[in-house]
Structure 1
Amino acid sequence: MDQSAPPPARRTYKIVVAVLAVAAVAAAVLGPGRTALRMVAMPLHRPGDPYVWFNTFNGIALLTLLALPLALLAAWVLARRRRAAGAASAWRVSLAEVGIVYGTVPWVWMIMLPGDEDRAVVNLVPLRDLATMDAGQVIGNLLVFAALGFFTPLRFAAPASLPRVLALGAACSALLEVAQYVLRLDRVSSVDDVLVNAAGAGLAALVSRPWWRTADGSPRPAPERESEAKAAR
């Protein structure tokens, strides 16, 4: 039996669905979850106001929730097409592709909204802003590129290592911080945001590591190479 072969796609799919279900139940039951749900429901009180839907954190969060069925449908369609074509790891690859987009775009959207500073502010001193962040800000910064860190090693073999995921998260975060300053969005462009965003990507990569590492600890081959290897056998 080949111990380095990836887990069955069906098992991976069931694990992902179970995690999503547990997270949804916890969010609905716990006190902070109920508060978050009330905040997300705010745009429903002003359904005819486009600003609330597209230019506030509440509106973007609600649109993200409403888009979840479409994201799952997209993953299902991609997986069916790949399985029909005989591709390996169809579900893993499809969920990873959709997860990267679905889990990252809303956060980037929020980050690029205009802020409440009087001008564009830059901080290049590490840990200065981190000391003033509350728990919500720290958690939010950790989640910005969490989906990118979690799913990218599942889809691509090249970045399937913790240092590379950290570098990817830091590079993407630095690009956004520069864009905030160049576009004069009246936000703080801080090196601490880059550090925390990268840490969030790295922590998420550690969570998904059982699915993107082989039994001997080396990265799994790219899905295309898996297909070629199976065809050769």
Structure 2
Amino acid sequence: MRDHQPVAQVWQSWGQVIVVSVLGLPLCAAVVWWRATAGHRGRGGRWLGAIAEVGLIAGTLPWLWMVMTPGSEPRSVRLVPLVDLYDVLRGSADTAVVQVVGNLLVFAALGFFLPLRWRLGATAVGVIACAGSVAIETAQWTLDLGRVSSADDVLINTLGAVLAALVSRPWWRRRRAEPVT
């Protein structure tokens, strides 16, 4: 969370990720269509599963690209929870919004779509997102990417996934009654 980038710098820093993600949308739609229709003509339940599979991957990869892009700070670890968050919230509002919202969105697609594809609840999504976030923070430190590995990033990434899972709850609660294909 220490890479303080105000909103005005987001496009400059991440414009290439945004462009590639938007250009990849037609490919994502084609993969959804292929997964939903290949050998399963007429089975409407396959559409939700195909959308969930593609959505969780396509919605998470751009964020992984961003958080694994080398930064400019010296490598460090911050294990005390809420210290980085406090520092960010004490700074400029632009930086706080970019940092907090960005970290909430890292695993939001995974959190939204995982229960739609597999019979998982919000707790399981939280455990998976927490493990994924710990893996990212560990990789950032191990690969010396010039980023701060922070316990707060793990907390906020996990919270984003759980909140997204709860938003998708009306659909995954319905899905639990259907057989998994």
Q: Judging changes above 3 Å, is the alpha-carbon distance between structure 1 residues 63 and 156 closer, same or farther for their aligned structure 2 residues? A: same
| Greater mean deviation of Cα atoms: 188-197 or 127-136 | 127-136
Distance 1:173 1:181 in 2: 12
Whole-angstrom distance in 2 between the partners of 1:165 and 1:142: 14
1:151/1:205 contact within 8 Å kept: yes
- Map of 1:54-133 to 2, 5 A cutoff? 56-84=13-41, 89-117=45-73, 119-133=74-88
Spell out, residue by residue over 1:64-95, the C-alpha distance to the aligned partner (whole angstroms, 9 max, x if none).
111111111211111111532x6561110000
Distance 1:114 1:101, change over 3 A: same
Q: Which protein shows a greater Rg?
A: 1
TM-score by length of 1: 0.67
Pick closer, same or farther for the CA change 1:104–1:222 going to 2, 3 Å: farther
Which amino acid in 2 is paired with 1:132? D
1:79-228 aligned at under 5 Å gives the runs: 79-84=36-41, 89-117=45-73, 119-133=74-88, 134-157=96-119, 160-214=120-174, 219-220=176-177, 222-224=179-181
Aligned pair in 2 of structure 1 residues 210, 170: CA closer, same or farther (>3 Å)?
A: same
- Counterparts of 1:213 and 1:197, CA distance in 2: 23
Gaps of 5+ in 1: 1-34, 43-55, 225-233
5+ residue gaps, structure 2: 1-6, 89-95
Paired letter, 1:145: F
Bigger relative CO (Cα 8 Å, ≥ 6 apart): 2
Q: CA deviation at 1:219?
A: 3.9
CA-CA distance at 1:135 after TM superposition:
1.4
Runs of 4+ in 1 over 3 A off after TM superposition: 218-222
Which whole-Å deviations, capped at 9, do the CAs of 1:41-82 have from their partners, x for residues lacking one? x6xxxxxxxxxxxxx511111111111111112111111115
Aligned residues: 168
Amino acid at match of 2:28: A
For residues 220 and 174 of structure 1, what CA distance do their matches in structure 2 show?
Answer: 33
- What amino acid is the match of 2:163? L
**Residues 141, 200 of structure 1: 8 Å contact kept:** yes
CA distance 1:165–1:125, shift in 2 (3 Å) = same
Structure 2 distance, partners of 1:181, 1:96, is 31
Matching residue's letter, 1:100: L
Q: Note the aligned Cα RMSD (angstroms).
A: 2.1
